[in-house]
């Protein structure tokens, strides 16, 4: 903008810069520092804490490898399910009269605290098929009840009954169960943001496409999707990051037991239960590093947006 | 909470101590629900104001507050590992700082409990709301019908096994109900089994060595305890929740209920004394002694948990508060309300609401050997490993050795 | 001139849609409705389970599945809600929750939209990299920040009682403190979301506002914000319920029990042995009420074609 | 290939009636031009025909198919939106190719058709740009191109040339006419440009305030407007209107406007009889008021002396704003006129070209 | 109140040069009309002047203040955007009141000014509507109204009447002219409508492909175009061009176009001397090709026989597309002509009105 004083942008940014600096940047720096110190943050230990993560000596308390693997699982599955689901629902709901009701049904899980959510899913997943909804269903279809949150058998084995009996994972049933909870809770998020984006698409462009003979699918595929792509990028990026830092959900349901640990839960255990701040911090830093490539990717969409506006 | 605002906004009610102007005291604990109500009833007579914050993630909460330079005045968690660490790092004030408090504890509290409150000879904390874990709850009616004889402290572990076989073979119900699931605490009932067996079979010294680390989890005594636990848990037809995944997946509460339902689904459940609380709430109007009852775990020695109370400063209000709740009058209030076992000798046994409660208290006070909960005593990562180990052992009993090594590896 | 304008008539017209038309309209859309209803049902089952359980006796809950309660004989009870609502201090806790949540939400909306405006409509060095960094902070786990923040708060503590609402001016147990904290934690996502929406507005609107003599502030308040209500509404909903449901930050920053929000009170329903699920179920719905009201209230801002008629081309 | 029929079509937006009881038959292959004042309902009619606007009442047929409930995409219509409605995320090429690609047209065919259309519209060089990078007129041409690459049953153009320069407009106009001849599909064309309307239309439909006024060939509507509105609306600069009383003396008849008398040609006298001594409204087009010095040969005329208020130079002609006895009127005279503002000048009104209207009803007297 | 000066202004978008080295002085109170083919840089010039587009090189002065780095809001400029850019969330009234309210104008004054402007534009009844509920022309009028409620130093109009009907356009045009007289501020006005340009402008600036071609009074640019482009661009329908060789015989001089000879008037002979036996380009405007039967008295002319290809009826005149000896050209003749397509007809080219250009450079020969 011509004639805007160079310092003006910084005025607009300053409140955010300040708050982010205090509440996020400063702690991050502190954490990075701690990741090079020992468990009590007294002595300098160089890269030992990272070495610990790599060597994974205490797999029983802190299975760093397993946690990282689970995070990858979340990273891939969680957004991959939630985003398309949210998108479809956003489009569908926008076409019916009971939009608000439909949306809220999907959204309600978001409004439920993790503690409560844990309670619900206990009810869903309880092993006793008299109480547990899922197992009640399993019994209905003449299957054995499954210990959804504890069963470490690999999903593929459970499903198709192939592979050795004590095949533990790598992709465990209980991780799927947890991701299911995540999907249930977060689809509402994707739905709300995406439908907000949907609403801001010009009606006239949609009309033009219809006159051009686009059916609903082509309209979605060729017009809505591309125009919405920056918003989709926002949602996806956010969900990817959430998958990266997923904590409460795992913590309140399994506490990371039975090979459901993720990096964030490990970080928490190491920092506050085992009270090894060094390793804890190092694990947190892993998260920080992992986010960088994701951000770079999502920047592309914004450049695209600036092009067409 | 903070520790220096007592003087300014003091409530100016003369406390029992009388001599000090009582202000506010911030207490961080794990109590909730009826416990909280009882606690508030207990501190009601005390002059000052109690700001109680309850959380079940108390270890992280405490760590955060202490690290953040903002500890509460008083903490009352169940885990002593953290306590000992704080004490060693000089975060805590010794009870001696509060005039008369240390003596009160040393006089009125059982030796075993006093020792646990000591770090390097200094007394930093005391225990209240203790819970015996040498308790097997059973369904008396069921036992009478099939005239099975109830084991007691004098019988042996083998008796327990043979009883289990008898009940199993009777074809009525499985002898045991067992559930390990409890979110982040999953596995703790198993650890209770193991520690109880360990104490009975190998005695207090070995037990202590395990805590201090002179003996490892991979020691023979420990291994023996695990295997004995396995005999029951994985014994053919011993457990209602048949198989590892069922046991691991069943919440310990649900496991308790099955024994006392009508008709009962299992004969016995091993759970800490606090189990009685669940039974009475779940089955209102159930008769202690007839509807449900407990017996001492064969072997007679007693393990148990308790909340350890300690302070981060020694200003008058805090001291007055500690002295108050350590005292018999205060604890008697909670005792009468139930769900609380006091280890203060002056508390009148008559005060307990019912017979079961009274016997639980007696068991605790009369035990010739008492040991504090093993996992709570070690705490930290080792405790985690211990919990994890239990569930893993159940799924893969053949991997016991390496599981035990891994647990030991988690010792700091 | 008037003659060439359309005639004005008082009564709104009613489109004459014949029943046949109506049916023809509905039939092809039947699958759509089915799919949607399918989703709604699936998503509602757990919630339904929670709702039903919240009206059941604890023993009933432990005895059999929630679905058994649907069929008569109904033995529902208000006890759980009784216990939750009549827990002492619940009223105050409710007020506290509002006192904490509303300002925290407003702060985020304001600061984030300011930053988003700068990011989307101003040029300055390092714009993109700075933006990336801000958003990347979204990954920071809260627990990681608490210790340093708590240290800071204890150091910067201003231990003066605030009249009426209570609490300190600043530091732990201060409303200001927890507002800022929540704002800080909420910003990365908020900025991320808003920048995207602000950026999609047609440039010419800002330009014409400029020519009309509008300063940045004016453009921001009179053009950008009104045209971004759907995004702002979405953000408001999320920020509100995230703060509303927060337990962790409140635990650390609010020592004073008189300031405790509902989430803290609710944890007191659970004994140290973790019983009383039936209470948690009830509590869940109690605490869910307000965010849902907000959600419904803001629904009307999700309107199609907010930019209709703005620019040609 | 299909005609279009509107039967009792009305459209009401909350409180505004945009179109009122429209009855109009557009023959197959016809080129119908819709004209009317801004806001009179032209776009609404197109949008209803395209299926973008619900119909408040009445029925629309395309061919013999009743389309009220047919979705836009199934009506096989191409439309140029008044506001372009280009796809912002697509290049110019993709914008134009979109409709074709939906119809599974072969890549080559698409390329061929798009480049051809782009050629006609002079936007070949812009094919890779995004709409945001185009000038107003370029955008409009893309919008136009997006329609003309198609071969639909009906073409709808909503002021497709409004932002093009005169030269380009003439060319494009010619191209559209060619297109119409080549495809022989039905065209409905909205424009404000009288030349466009006159030159392209097979028939012109004049709307006012949502009501259809007259439909007819350009010549008809220009020479025999059915009412004052049409007479005043068609033709630019607009017709001069005078109120005057019909007088007869012996054989001759004239209209007494006050400052001057307008003789009535014998052919007209019959129809004007009933209005003798009544007031009627006379319409005179500016080009029928001549500078007496440069009168085209053989014009039967009534001489008038008037004062020149303003002169507008239009290159090929001069526009004189004249006043005579309180009447203001326009004359479009030979550019060589010597009239200058303030002067008195003699003008001649071509009596053969007068239009007469009933003052009350405003309808033409025939 | 201030003039505007462009000095060596250039504007480049990534690879396109939109404006090239523009030097132009607009006097205070002047009404400058910018014309040029679509995409030639008109809007870009306005946008640079308004401070919406960064300047690639050169300087712009408003009054004697160099404004290159002055923010748009501080330039005191009102602009009608080609694409309207209405505030979709504000009512028509608020759209028009916005600028004033920012200036802390009193409520009453705002109401008074807005209602007045709305009156002029005939949108009083729409004041409570949102832009989305308006017709194209109504939107454009709102955009116009938003500008004219203000009293800025400079007015910029980017094709402000393109979507209005002829009648309304004439009225509004008049209103804008009045406004210009009343306020006496500087107006810069982009239009494609020749009549608009001719009637409103104090000076017209003709642009082509970003390059300024000619600046001058309407009459100048029409009668003395500096080059072929201007001659061809100004005037509609466009000028006919013939290539021909200058021939002299004794005293007389004529241009041999092939099918016919165009006599050179004595006054012109001097300047054409250097081109004797060389090829030059002759420009003849259609209105200077007359139907021989309806020739205005006293036109010096060269008779030509041509075949009528197409006739376009424009009401007040007839447009004939003629071909003679391979040359296609337009004639704008008296509506009473009897010419019909396919016929042979005798036309006369008015020799006094010929325009001559150097074929190589395209510049006028004077
Ligand atoms: N953002 C842009 N990026 C690239 N090229 C552009 C951009 N904006 C305009 N142009 C080009 O600059 C040239 C001038 O554009 P401008 O809008 O000034 O034309 P114009 O004279 O206003 O045309 P019109 O009469 O069609 O509005 C055009 O060729 C156009 O394609
Ligand atoms: N969405 C709407 N809500 C209310 N009134 C509307 C709406 N759309 C159009 N109108 C009104 O309907 C009438 C006809 O609109 P329409 O767009 O058909 O006019 P038009 O003939 O195309 O005018 P223009 O030549 O200016 O484009 C106008 O008076 C307009 O104000
Ligand atoms: Mg229109
Ligand atoms: Mg332009």
pLDDT band at C210 (very low <50, low <70, confident <90, very high): very high
Residue pair E93/E149 in contact (Cβ under 8 Å)? The answer is no
Residues of chain D contacting C11 with CB distance shorter than 8 Å: 15
**Residue A3: is it exposed, middle or buried by C-beta count within 10 angstroms (0-12/13-18/19+)?**
middle
For residue E331 the two structure tokens come to 């004639």
Per-residue pLDDT at B20: 60
Q: Which atom of ligand 2 is nearest to the CA of D16?
A: 5
CA of A207 to the centre of ligand 4 (A): 25
Per-residue pLDDT at C166: 78
Cβ neighbour number for residue D353 with a 10 Å cutoff: 18
pLDDT band at C5 (very low <50, low <70, confident <90, very high): very low
Instruction: Please list the ranges in chain B whose pLDDT falls under 50.
Output: 1-17
Residue pair A174/A70 in contact (Cβ under 8 Å)? The answer is no
Among candidates C111, C148, C193 on the partner chain, residue whose Cβ is nearest the Cβ of A193: C193
Helical H runs in chain D?
42-50, 92-102, 107-121, 136-148, 166-183, 194-200, 218-223, 228-233, 266-272
Whether the per-residue pLDDT at C214 is higher than 50: the answer is yes
**pLDDT tens digits, residue range D318-358?**
888 888 878 888 888 877 777 788 888 888 888 888 889 99
Per-residue pLDDT at D116: 94
Per-residue pLDDT at B31: 87
Cβ neighbour number for residue A46 with a 10 Å cutoff: 9
Residues of chain C contacting A234 with CB distance shorter than 8 Å: 192-193, 196
pTM, two decimals, is 0.90
**Residue C98: is it exposed, middle or buried by C-beta count within 10 angstroms (0-12/13-18/19+)?**
middle
Chain E CA closest to residue C205: E85
Whether the per-residue pLDDT at D14 is higher than 50: the answer is yes
Q: Read off the pLDDT of each residue in E246-265 and give the average, rounded to a whole number.
A: 83
**pLDDT tens digits, residue range C218-250?**
999 999 999 999 999 999 999 999 999 988 888
How far away is chain A from the Cα of C202, in angstroms, using its nearest Cα? 6
Q: What percent of chain E has pLDDT over 90?
A: 55
Per-residue pLDDT at D146: 94
Q: Is ipTM beyond 0.85?
A: yes
Beta-carbon separation of A58 and B381 below 8 A: yes
Q: Which residues 51-90 of C are in CB contact (within 8 Å) with A?
A: 53, 61-67
How far away is chain A from the Cα of D195, in angstroms, using its nearest Cα? 28
CA of E188 to the centre of ligand 4 (A): 13
DSSP result, E143-194: HHHHHHTS--SEEEEESTTTTS-HHHHHHHHHHHHHHHHHH--EEEEE-S-H
Beta-carbon separation of A199 and C304 below 8 A: yes
Q: What percent of chain C has pLDDT over 90?
A: 34
Residues 6+ positions from C18 with CB-CB distance below 8 Å? none
Dihedral over Cα of A106, A108, A110, A113: its sign: negative
At residue E139, the 3 state secondary structure works out as: helix
Per-residue pLDDT at B6: 39
**pLDDT tens digits, residue range A230-259?**
899 999 999 999 999 898 888 888 888 888
Ligand 1 pocket mutation pick from D125, D138, D163, D167 by most atoms within 8 angstroms of CB? D138
Whether the per-residue pLDDT at D140 is higher than 50: the answer is yes
Q: Which chains touch B (3 or more CB pairs under 8 A)?
A: A, C
Output the ligand 1 site: residues, CB below 6 A: D 133-138, 163; E 13-14, 16, 18, 36, 38-44, 82
Per-residue pLDDT at D1: 54
Highest mean pLDDT among D80-84, D296-300, E302-306: D80-84
Residues 6+ positions from C107 with CB-CB distance below 8 Å? C179, C180, C182, C183
Per-residue pLDDT at B384: 84
d(CA D72, CA E131): 24
CA of D170 to the centre of ligand 2 (A): 28
Q: Which residues 152-191 of C are in CB contact (within 8 Å) with B?
A: 153-155, 157, 159, 161, 172-173
Is the peptide bond between B309 and the residue preceding it cis, with omega within 30 degrees of 0?
A: no
Chain B CA closest to residue A63: B385
DSSP result, C236-274: HHHHHHHHHH--HHHHHH---GGG--HHHHHHTTS-TT-
DSSP state for residue B245 in the 8-state scheme: H
- Among A223-232, D307-316, E176-185, E303-312, which is the least confidently predicted range? D307-316
Per-residue pLDDT at C109: 96
How far away is chain E from the Cα of A5, in angstroms, using its nearest Cα? 9
Output the ligand 2 site: residues, CB below 6 A: C 5-6; D 13-14, 16, 18, 36, 38-44, 82; E 133-138, 163
Beta-carbon separation of C4 and E98 below 8 A: no
pLDDT averaged over chain C? 83
A7 against E235, higher pLDDT: A7
Residues of chain C contacting E84 with CB distance shorter than 8 Å: 310-312
Q: Which chains touch C (3 or more CB pairs under 8 A)?
A: A, B, D, E
Beta-carbon separation of D83 and A218 below 8 A: no
Residues from B contacting C (CB-CB < 8 Å) are 1-2, 5, 9, 26, 29-36, 51-56, 60-61, 64-65, 67-70, 72, 78, 182-183, 185, 253-254, 257, 261, 274, 277-278, 281-284, 307
Per-residue pLDDT at E8: 96
C272 against E96, higher pLDDT: E96
Among candidates E192, E198, E332 on the partner chain, residue whose Cβ is nearest the Cβ of D163: E192
Per-residue pLDDT at C85: 84
Residues 6+ positions from A158 with CB-CB distance below 8 Å? A146, A151, A173
Per-residue pLDDT at A21: 94
Beta bridge partners of D330: D321
Beta-carbon separation of A23 and C145 below 8 A: yes
Ligand 1 pocket mutation pick from D92, D127, D135 by most atoms within 8 angstroms of CB? D135
d(CA D204, CA D198): 8
Residues 6+ positions from A79 with CB-CB distance below 8 Å? A236, A239, A240, A243
Among candidates E82, E195, E316 on the partner chain, residue whose Cβ is nearest the Cβ of D235: E316
Whether the per-residue pLDDT at E290 is higher than 60: the answer is yes
pLDDT band at A158 (very low <50, low <70, confident <90, very high): low
């Amino acid at each position: 903008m011509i004639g805007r004083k160079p310092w003006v942008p910084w005025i607009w940014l300053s409140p955010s810069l300040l708050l982010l600096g205090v509440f996020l940047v400063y702690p991050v720096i502190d954490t990075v520092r701690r990741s090079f110190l020992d468990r009590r943050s007294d002595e300098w230990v160089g890269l030992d804490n990272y070495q610990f993560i790599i060597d994974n000596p205490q797999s029983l308390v802190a299975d760093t490898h397993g946690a990282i693997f689970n995070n990858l699982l979340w990273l891939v599955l969680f957004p991959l399910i939630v985003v398309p689901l949210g998108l479809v629902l956003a489009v569908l709901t926008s076409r019916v009269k009971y939009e608000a009701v439909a949306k809220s049904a999907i959204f309600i899980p978001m409004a439920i605290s993790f503690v409560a959510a844990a309670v619900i899913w206990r009810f869903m997943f309880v092993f006793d098929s008299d109480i547990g909804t899922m197992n009640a269903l399993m019994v209905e279809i003449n299957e054995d009840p499954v210990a959804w949150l504890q069963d470490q058998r690999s999903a593929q084995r459970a499903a198709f009954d192939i592979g050795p009996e004590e095949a533990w994972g790598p992709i465990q049933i209980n991780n799927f169960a947890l991701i299911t909870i995540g999907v249930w809770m977060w689809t509402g998020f994707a739905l709300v943001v995406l439908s907000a984006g949907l609403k801001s698409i010009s009606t006239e462009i949609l009309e033009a496409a219809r006159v051009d003979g686009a059916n609903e699918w082509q309209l979605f595929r060729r017009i809505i999707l591309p125009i919405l792509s920056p918003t989709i990028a926002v949602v996806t990026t956010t969900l990817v990051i959430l998958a990266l830092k997923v904590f409460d959900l795992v913590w309140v349901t399994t506490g990371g037991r039975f090979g459901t640990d993720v990096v964030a839960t490990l970080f928490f255990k190491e920092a506050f239960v085992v009270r090894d701040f060094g390793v804890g911090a190092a694990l947190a830093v892993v998260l920080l590093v992992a986010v960088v490539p994701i951000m770079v990717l999502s920047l592309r969409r914004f450049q695209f947006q600036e092009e067409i506006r | 909470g903070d520790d220096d605002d007592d003087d300014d906004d003091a409530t100016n009610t003369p406390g029992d101590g009388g001599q000090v102007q009582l202000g506010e005291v911030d207490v961080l604990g794990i109590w909730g629900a009826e416990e909280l109500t009882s606690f508030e009833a207990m501190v009601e007579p005390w002059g000052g104001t109690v700001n109680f914050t309850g959380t079940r993630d108390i270890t992280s909460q405490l760590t955060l507050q202490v690290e953040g330079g903002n500890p509460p005045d008083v903490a009352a968690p169940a885990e002593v590992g953290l306590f000992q660490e704080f004490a060693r790092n000089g975060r805590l004030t010794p009870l001696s700082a509060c005039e008369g408090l240390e003596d009160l504890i040393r006089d009125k509290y059982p030796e075993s409990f006093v020792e646990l409150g000591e770090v390097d000879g200094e007394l930093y904390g005391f225990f209240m709301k203790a819970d015996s874990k040498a308790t097997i709850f059973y369904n008396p009616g069921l036992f009478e019908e099939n005239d099975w004889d109830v084991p007691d402290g004098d019988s042996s572990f083998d008796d327990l096994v043979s009883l289990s076989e008898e009940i199993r073979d009777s074809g009525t119900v499985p002898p045991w109900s067992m559930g390990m699931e409890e979110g982040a605490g999953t596995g703790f009932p198993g650890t209770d089994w193991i520690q109880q067996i360990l104490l009975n079979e190998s005695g207090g010294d070995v037990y202590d060595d395990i805590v201090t680390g002179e003996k490892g989890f991979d020691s023979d005594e420990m291994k023996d305890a695990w295997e004995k636990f396995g005999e029951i848990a994985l014994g053919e037809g011993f457990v209602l929740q048949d198989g590892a995944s069922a046991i691991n997946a069943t919440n310990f509460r649900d496991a308790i209920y099955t024994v006392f339902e009508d008709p009962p689904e299992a004969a016995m459940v091993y759970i800490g004394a606090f189990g009685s609380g669940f039974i009475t709430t779940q089955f209102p109007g159930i008769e202690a002694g007839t509807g449900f009852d407990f017996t001492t775990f064969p072997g007679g020695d007693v393990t148990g948990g308790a909340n350890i109370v300690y302070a981060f400063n020694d200003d008058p209000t805090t001291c007055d508060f500690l002295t108050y709740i350590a005292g018999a009058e205060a604890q008697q209030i909670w005792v009468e309300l139930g769900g609380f076992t006091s280890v203060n000798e002056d508390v009148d046994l008559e005060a307990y609401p019912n017979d079961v409660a009274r016997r639980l208290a007696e068991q605790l006070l009369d035990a010739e050997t008492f040991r504090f909960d093993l996992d709570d005593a070690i705490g930290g990562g080792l405790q985690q490993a211990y919990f994890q180990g239990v569930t893993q052992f159940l799924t893969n009993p053949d991997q016991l050795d390496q599981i035990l090594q891994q647990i030991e590896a988690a010792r700091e | 001139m008037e003659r060439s304008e359309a005639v004005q008539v008082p009564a709104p017209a009613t489109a004459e849609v014949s029943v046949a038309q109506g049916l023809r309209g509905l039939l092809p859309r039947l699958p759509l409705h089915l799919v949607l209803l399918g989703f709604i049902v699936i998503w509602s089952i757990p919630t339904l389970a929670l709702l039903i359980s919240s009206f059941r006796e604890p023993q009933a809950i432990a005895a059999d599945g929630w679905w058994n309660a649907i069929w008569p004989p109904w033995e529902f009870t208000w006890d759980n809600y009784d216990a939750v609502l009549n827990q002492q201090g619940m009223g105050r806790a409710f007020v506290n929750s509002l006192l904490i949540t509303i300002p925290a939400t407003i702060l985020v909306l304001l600061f984030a939209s300011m930053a988003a405006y700068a990011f989307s409509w101003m040029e300055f060095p390092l714009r993109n990299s700075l933006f990336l960094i801000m958003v990347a902070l979204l990954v920071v786990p809260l627990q990681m920040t608490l210790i340093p923040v708590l240290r800071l708060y204890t150091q910067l503590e201003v231990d003066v009682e605030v009249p009426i609402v209570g609490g300190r001016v600043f530091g732990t147990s201060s409303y200001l403190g927890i507002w800022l904290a929540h704002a800080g934690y909420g910003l990365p996502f908020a900025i991320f979301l808003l920048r995207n929406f602000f950026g999609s507005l047609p440039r010419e609107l800002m330009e014409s506002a400029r020519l009309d003599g509008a300063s940045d502030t004016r453009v921001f308040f009179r053009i950008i914000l009104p045209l971004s209500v759907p995004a702002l509404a979405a953000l408001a909903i999320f920020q509100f319920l995230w703060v509303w449901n927060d337990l962790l930050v409140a635990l650390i920053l609010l020592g004073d029990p008189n300031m405790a929000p509902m989430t803290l009170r609710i944890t007191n329903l659970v004994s140290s042995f973790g019983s009383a699920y039936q209470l948690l179920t009830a509590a869940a719905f109690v605490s869910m009420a307000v965010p849902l009201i907000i959600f419904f209230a803001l629904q009307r801002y999700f309107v199609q074609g907010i930019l209709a008629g703005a620019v040609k081309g | 290939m299909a005609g279009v029929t509107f039967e009792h079509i009305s459209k009401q937006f909350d409180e505004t009636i945009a179109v009122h009881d429209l009855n109009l038959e557009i023959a197959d292959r016809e080129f119908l031009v819709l004209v009317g004042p801004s806001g009179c309902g032209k776009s609404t009619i197109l949008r209803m025909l395209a299926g973008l606007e619900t119909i408040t009442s009445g029925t629309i047929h395309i061919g013999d198919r009743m389309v009220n409930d047919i979705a836009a995409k199934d009506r096989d219509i191409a439309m140029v939106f008044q506001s372009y409605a280009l796809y912002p995320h697509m290049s110019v090429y993709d914008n134009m190719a979109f409709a074709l690609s939906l119809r599974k047209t072969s890549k080559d065919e698409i390329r061929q058709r798009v480049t051809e259309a782009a050629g006609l519209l002079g936007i070949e060089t812009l094919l890779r740009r995004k709409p945001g990078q185009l000038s107003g007129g370029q955008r409009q041409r893309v919008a136009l191109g997006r329609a003309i690459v198609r071969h639909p049953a009906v073409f709808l153009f909503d002021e497709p040339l409004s932002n093009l320069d005169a030269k380009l407009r003439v060319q494009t106009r010619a191209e559209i006419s060619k297109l119409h001849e080549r495809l022989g599909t039905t065209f409905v064309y909205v424009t404000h440009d009288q030349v466009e309307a006159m030159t392209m239309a097979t028939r012109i439909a004049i709307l006012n305030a949502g009501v259809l006024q007259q439909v007819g060939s350009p010549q008809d509507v220009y020479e025999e407007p059915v009412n004052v509105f049409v007479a005043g609306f068609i033709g630019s600069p607009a017709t001069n209107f005078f109120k005057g009383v019909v007088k007869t003396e012996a054989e001759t008849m004239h209209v007494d406007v006050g400052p001057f008398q307008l003789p009535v040609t014998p052919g007209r006298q019959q129809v004007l009889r009933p209005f003798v001594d009544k007031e009627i409204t006379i319409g005179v087009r500016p080009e029928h008021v001549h500078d007496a010095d440069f009168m085209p040969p053989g014009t039967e005329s009534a001489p008038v002396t008037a004062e020149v208020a303003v002169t507008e130079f239009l290159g090929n002609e001069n526009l004189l704003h004249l006043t005579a006895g309180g009447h203001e009127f326009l004359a479009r005279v030979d550019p060589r006129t010597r009239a200058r503002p303030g002067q008195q000048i003699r003008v001649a009104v071509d009596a053969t070209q007068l239009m007469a209207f009933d003052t009350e009803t405003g309808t033409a007297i025939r």
